[in-house]
Amino acid sequence: MRRLIFSLLIIINTTAFAQGYRITAKYVYQPDSYLYLGHYFGDKKFLKDSVKIMPDGKAVFKGDKPLTGGLYIIVDPEKKRFFDVVIEQDQQFEVDIDTGFVATAFRKTTENAQLEAYKNATNEIFKQYPEWQKALSESKTKNDSLAVQEKISAASKNADRWRDSFIVKHPDSYVALLFRLMKEPEYKIAGAVTKEDTLNAYYAYKAAYWNDIPIGSERLLRTPMFEARVTKYLEQVVARHPDSLKKEIDKFILYSRSDTTMFKYYINRFTNEYMHPKYMGLDVIFLHLFEKYYQTNQVTWLDVKDKETVYNRAYNLMGNIVGERAAELTLLDTLDQKRTLYSIQAPYTLVVFWDPDCGHCREQVPKIDSLYKSDWSKTGMKLIGVLVDTLRTSNKTWPAVRKKWVDYIREHQLNNWTHLYQSFAMREEEQKNNIPNFRQNYDVYQTPTIYLLDKDKRIVAKKISPEQIHDFMEFQKNQEPTKK
């Protein structure tokens, strides 16, 4: 019995050791030089390990725990050149590297042999590519260009067929996963006659976009292709509408529940993207993430500073969603008379948060005034300018700040505006009663910050430029005959 237990322990220990990784890279020996093992993570590269090159030219990367499957990189001592290696099932292999820092031979790794076979095949398929490029640049007629482009297209199709054939033969390999990430679904719009035909082609394309790609697997992060594929999907495939995007984002997160790294990745990625989105109105997606995942205590990995940033951003956004009614403004005008936003009646109200010390404000405010006088005033629009500078001033410095503000208004003849500011007493009253101020309600963290409101004071657009306001007003003007 003792022999049996001892034998089992040996087997278990041997297996545990075998489950680690050991990658031997042979390169030209250089005294006190290192080779580096890195990996992809989304659209970035990170260092995993560094090993000194021994006098026999060998550098051995090793660890007791297996590496997450993926596409890794081996980097030269100067950190200028690198090549890709697959680390998945085979985590104990050898690679020879020539003086040009190119992998010349792999041993004990089927996966890298497969990757090398693909590289060799594509080199053969595209061996005439330099000639085609030269012919394309020298072509004198449209037919000459088309002839060359047909050759390039035929080569691309041959490469596609090679990858498709590999996927069929080795469906479970990591290299096959890489090829599936590279494969673009076919958009079968040719022959579409009706609008329904076009929509069906789109839905089929969208449905096939993630076919056979396990979007909840951490292995995807170890490729340079996955991040780009997610970006294209959300920006070009999914309709740019908050409800559509929320649904897709929730799907990514749902499929990542069993993989902690992937769950964190999706939450962090989408939070960063939609906290300050590229397109107006999509910050509601960040609020959706906040309410569904942060406020339900599913996000547990943030440090105090990052958590404060996320929560403050969410609270600042909650009162200024496009389509919702804007928060009331109760401030003082230049004569120290109390004025409110909702007392100003107009088809459109433009609210500009600015201060005369802001360089961008000095450029934008006169432009807004000029466009208003020449065009926007005809619509009945009203302008409101809110001084932001009082946040940095005190009772002692306020007279100088006020003079600069009023002088700027007079100098630039901003006579058609309602100019407002918040007194120190008003600000202290808000703080005392824990009432959000206008900077929080309107998310004013830079100047100028511009909001366009409709007749009911609903937010039509926010954080836009004078040019964008003008385009919107022109669009509205062109819609009038249609409405009538």
Tell me: the pLDDT tens digits for 425-448?
A: 888 888 888 888 898 899 898 899
The partner residues of 82 in beta bridges, in order of sequence, read 75
Class of residue 281 by CB neighbours under 10 A (exposed 0-12, middle 13-18, buried 19+): middle
Terminal CA-CA length for the chain: 96
Task: Output the average pLDDT for the chain.
Answer: 90
Looking at residues 239-258, what average pLDDT do you find?
Answer: 95
Read off the pLDDT band of 391 (50, 70, 90).
low
Does pLDDT of 389 surpass 90?
A: no
Looking at residues 385-395, what average pLDDT do you find?
Answer: 77
Q: Six-digit token pair at 161? A: 């067929």
Per mean pLDDT, which range of 113-117, 408-412, 441-445 is the poorest? 441-445
Looking at residues 42-65, what average pLDDT do you find?
Answer: 94
Residue keyed to tokens 């309410």: 291
Read off the pLDDT band of 387 (50, 70, 90).
very high
Output the CA torsion sign for 242, 248, 252, 253.
positive
Looking at residues 241-257, what average pLDDT do you find?
Answer: 96
Helix 110-125 × helix 142-169 angle, to 10°: 160
Neighbours of 122 (CB within 10 A): 16
Q: 71 near 112, Cβ under 8 Å?
A: no
CATH code given to domain 330-483:
3.40.30.10
> What secondary structure letter does DSSP report for 294?
I
Q: Six-digit token pair at 55? A: 């006098």
The partner residues of 350 in beta bridges, in order of sequence, read 383, 452
Read off the pLDDT band of 450 (50, 70, 90).
very high
Q: Six-digit token pair at 116? A: 């090398």
Does pLDDT of 175 surpass 50?
A: yes
Looking at residues 297-312, what average pLDDT do you find?
Answer: 95
The partner residues of 93 in beta bridges, in order of sequence, read 23
pLDDT at 390: 60
**Pick from 180, 26, 161, 167: which is nearest to 97 by CA?**
26
pLDDT at 253: 97
The partner residues of 106 in beta bridges, in order of sequence, read 95
Angstrom CA distances, 366 to 32, 213, 378, 389, stand at 63, 53, 18, 18
| Residue type, position 55, single letter | P
CATH superfamily entry for domain 2-119: Carboxypeptidase-like, regulatory domain (2.60.40.1120)
Question: How much of the chain exceeds pLDDT 70, in percent?
Answer: 94
Per mean pLDDT, which range of 16-20, 119-123, 261-265, 328-332 is the poorest? 16-20
**Pick from 228, 290, 214: which is nearest to 257 by CA?**
214
Rounded Cα gap, residues 263 and 301, in angstroms: 11
Strands 21-26 and 92-97: parallel
Question: How much of the chain exceeds pLDDT 90, in percent?
Answer: 76
pLDDT at 13: 40
Q: 384 near 352, Cβ under 8 Å?
A: yes
